[in-house]
Structure 1
Amino acid sequence: MPTSTTSIPDPSTRYRRTGMRGLNSEMLSWVFMRASGVLLVILVFGHLFVNLWLGEGVNRIDFAFVGGKWSSPFWQTWDLLMLWLAMIHGGNGVRTIINDYAHGPRLRLALKALLYAAAIITIVLGTLVIFTFDPCPAGANPDLLPSICTD
């Protein structure tokens, strides 16, 4: 009975280039994951520090707190950046998992389509909420408005 042998290249030798030069999409994805991960750590810990540690902690988080916070363009931008980076970072990670574990091109295409649709819908709706949020809408019943809406 003949035995087949598999030769494993010496890891210290250089591989021949495939002809592709520069960055490809997977390399850009890898770089994005590292950069966005570092930025997300800063954004999330800043968010937790301001919302939970300063002042009265979790007890003060209510509708009025969010309304007051989102009245500032700084916090709108902070939360928007955190939303976009988290959704794109997480979506890119799930895309990688789909590429690794989904067998068959049609299943992979279907899962990626669902992933992209969910990510886009969440980003669009989250962005709309952040920029259109008004804790004191004109013409609302004053008894239903939070305490920050005193005229």
Structure 2
Amino acid sequence: MSTTSIPDPSTRYRRTAQRGINSEMISWMFMRASGLLLVILVFGHLFVNLWLGQGVQAIDFAFVGGKWSSPFWQVWDLLMLWLGLIHGGNGVRTIINDYARSDRLRLVLKGLLYFAVIVTIILGTLVIFTFDACPAGAEPSLLPSFCEG
């Protein structure tokens, strides 16, 4: 019967044994900072849209159109989108690293994850900045009340 010794866990974290950038530490720090910022952004979003507003029944196309006509709310929602997707993607990346057994499977899963996060960030950003609540040539009865004639 073979006996193996478990390495001292404190040796893993000594800076003398490690050279260069510790990407996992940066990832860990990002998760804490982005999580805190996301809590502020999400609760601010809910507070303004649901409590100060007229509740969930008032959220419709016109509400979103009016909100996204302001650069402040575009940036607010963009920060929520970007931070939420990168934070979630980083968490899933950690799960893939922990549970994917083979290097090939890990590579494929992380490639799919990165692709999905990047595509969603690009599409979401385009929607936020190109959204037009008052498109030219649209039926006037279908447009929100704030659109001019």
Q: Same fold (TM over 0.5)?
A: yes
Structure 2: give runs of 5+ residues left out of the alignment.
none
Aligned to 2:65: 67
Of all paired residues, the percent bearing the same amino acid is 80
Give the structure with the larger helix fraction: 2
Aligned to 2:115: 117
Q: Write out aligned runs for 1:1-151 (5 A).
A: 7=5, 15=11, 17=14, 19-21=17-19, 23-151=21-149
Q: Which amino acid aligns with 1:28?
A: I
C-alpha separation in 2, matches of 1:26 and 1:15: 16
Q: CA RMSD in A?
A: 2.0
Structure 1: give runs of 5+ residues left out of the alignment.
none
C-alpha separation in 2, matches of 1:108 and 1:7: 28
C-alpha separation in 1, matches of 2:107 and 2:84: 22
How far residue 15 of structure 1 moved from its aligned partner, in angstroms, is 3.2
Runs of 4+ aligned residues of structure 1 deviating over 6 Å after TM superposition are none
C-alpha separation in 1, matches of 2:44 and 2:71: 16
Q: TM-score with structure 1 length normalisation? A: 0.88
Q: Secondary structure at the match of 1:15?
A: helix
Shift of the 7–118 alpha-carbon distance from structure 1 to 2, 3 Å rule, reads closer
C-alpha separation in 2, matches of 1:74 and 1:117: 29
> Quick check: which has more Rg, 1 or 2?
1
Counting matched residue pairs gives 147
1:38-94 CA distances to partner (integer Å, 9 max, x unpaired)?
A: 000000000111111113111110100000000000000000000000000000000
